[in-house]
Amino acid sequence: MLSVQIEKALIQEFELELNGKNCNPNYSQITGLTPKSLAQSFRVYCVENEIQLTEALEIAIQEFLDKRQNQPSSPLAYFLFFFAISFTFAPRQ
């Protein structure tokens, strides 16, 4: 169970983030559902390391995209690509 001090810090962190970027047109809100334990661990980590939730999310999303953009496509993607090409250029009768 979270201590009262950590809960207060989490609420304060959330309010700062909401008021700071909520009206900024250069930002967009992303929402999603995660297991409670993962969300709680993430929030506690951010509070303990004095990192804003939005900053940590921006880093995590950027690292996620960088990792996936530098990986080759899956074998299924290659198969579908070559299947589509062979179907497109197959001789017609």
Tracing tokens 């334990």 back to the chain, one arrives at: 37
Provide the pLDDT confidence category of residue 2 given band limits of 50, 70 and 90: low
Q: Which two tokens stand for residue 79?
A: 């198969």
Tracing tokens 């939005």 back to the chain, one arrives at: 54
Question: In the chain, where are the structural domains located?
Answer: 4-88
Average pLDDT over residues 55-64: 90
74 φ, ψ to 5°? Answer: -70, 160
How many angstroms separate the CA atoms of 26 and 67, rounded? Answer: 24
Provide the pLDDT confidence category of residue 44 given band limits of 50, 70 and 90: very high
User: For residues 72 and 63, which has the higher predicted lDDT (pLDDT)?
Assistant: 63
Please determine, for residue 90, whether its predicted confidence score (pLDDT) is greater than 60: no
Average pLDDT over residues 16-21: 65
User: For residues 70 and 62, which has the higher predicted lDDT (pLDDT)?
Assistant: 62
